[in-house]
């Protein structure tokens, strides 16, 4: 199981995601990846929107967080490659493989 991490920048008007600005406590983690039944997202600011899009940019799922952790079912998502994004941050690749 691998974890993917990215920094939130919802409070940063410049939307700078440079490595020099990353603090460990600011990292959002997404796992497992590849995912089968669910994905777990941790270390998010409350109220952050999580978006999952396909390779064509179509929104597959949107969810607003009510806590710093979120578990999302992948039951209704087809096998394939997607992008997951928190707020206005850069997207990271998410692979769904239920086989």
| pLDDT reported for residue 52 | 95
pTM of the model: 0.72
Check if the beta carbon of residue 50 is closer than 8 Å to that of residue 41: yes
Q: Domain residue spans in the chain?
A: 4-96
For the domain with range 4-96, which CATH number is right: 1.10.3470, 3.40.1350, 3.90.1340, 2.60.40?
2.60.40
pLDDT in tens, 10-61: 444 444 444 333 433 357 889 999 999 999 999 888 998 999 999 999 999 9
Measuring CA to CA, how many Å separate 77 from each of 11, 27, 37, 39, 95? 31, 25, 9, 12, 11
> CA angle at residue 84 from 79 to 89, to 5 degrees?
165
């Amino acid at each position: 199981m691998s974890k993917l991490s990215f920094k939130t920048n919802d409070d940063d008007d410049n939307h700078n995601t440079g490595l020099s600005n990353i603090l460990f406590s600011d990292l959002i983690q997404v796992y497992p990846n590849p995912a089968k039944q669910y994905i777990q997202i941790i270390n998010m600011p409350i109220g952050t929107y999580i978006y999952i899009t396909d390779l064509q940019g179509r929104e597959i799922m949107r969810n607003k967080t009510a806590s710093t952790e979120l578990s999302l079912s992948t039951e209704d998502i087809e096998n394939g490659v997607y992008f997951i994004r928190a707020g206005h941050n850069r997207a990271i690749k998410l692979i769904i493989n239920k086989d």
